[in-house]
Structure 1
């Protein structure tokens, strides 16, 4: 498979990138973002993209791809609805629209969040914006679009959050959550689980297009042959 990742320098994106580089059936990984990942690998190609709303200049790079793992996202804390919408909705749709035009057989996997509201009725701003983004992605001409709505995600294998609050959260509660995770593996996920689940979606799909934490965990645990 040839895959492309948005947000490979974020906490979840780092985990997804790691699993893609480790997978024998992934032959090429493109990471698109404003900064390059710290990891180097013979499979990895980095595309520095300052303008996250227009992709005409790199159209040739966005062709011949089998899957996109879209992990780009920010916290809504301290942001207006207009600013959060520009980052969460507009940037996502700009990238997805560019990909759909070149890759109609692509599997597009979008990292959303538990609590996202696709009905548009939520009083919570971020939930409405996330849900609206999910709805817009479903209208694009991909082979398949999967929406992941995880809850708690623990960093693994050196993955680090860019958000100071989350780094603080993980430094204090991470060890406790790691201890209790075996009791609730379907509620507390890891960056490794997220990467494995996304790869399995690209490999074989899933009966449902909207996946919660338990489904994500179950999907990651499937032992699939690599071809």
Structure 2
């Protein structure tokens, strides 16, 4: 899966867009109140606060991802690979 994602990102970069950003979230938690989410989240939602505390580089919320995407579209970003730590920072 990671190999295919990397190949796809490389192919997209070759298309010469004016800017290209690859967001790389690891584990997302949905926004409260969403009705169309995977049932998997019902079983792991308790783990998110603990996981974020233990491994902050791996966990972000869907809301943080959305905010980070808006910021990057508005002002850009120094790197085309945007990792979880960048997503959380941009969302602030």
TM-score bracket, normalised by the shorter chain, equals 0.7 to 0.9
In the alignment, does 2:39 pair up with 1:167?
yes
> Which segments of 5 or more consecutive residues in structure 1 lack a partner in the other structure?
1-125, 222-227
Match of 1:139 in 2: 14
Higher helix share: 2
Higher strand share: 1
> Which segments of 5 or more consecutive residues in structure 2 lack a partner in the other structure?
none
- Displacement of 1:185: 4.3
How many residues get paired? 90
TM-score by length of 2: 0.84
Q: Is the 8 A contact 2:52 2:58 kept in 1?
A: no
CA distance in 1, matches of 2:51, 2:36: 19
State the superposition RMSD in angstroms.
1.8
CA distance in 2, matches of 1:200, 1:186: 19
TM-score by length of 1: 0.37
CA distance in 2, matches of 1:193, 1:159: 18
1:218 corresponds to which of 66, 89, 92: 89
The structure with the largest alpha-carbon Rg is 1
- Flag as ranges the 4+ runs of structure 1 deviating above 2 A: 179-187
Match of 1:191 in 2: 62
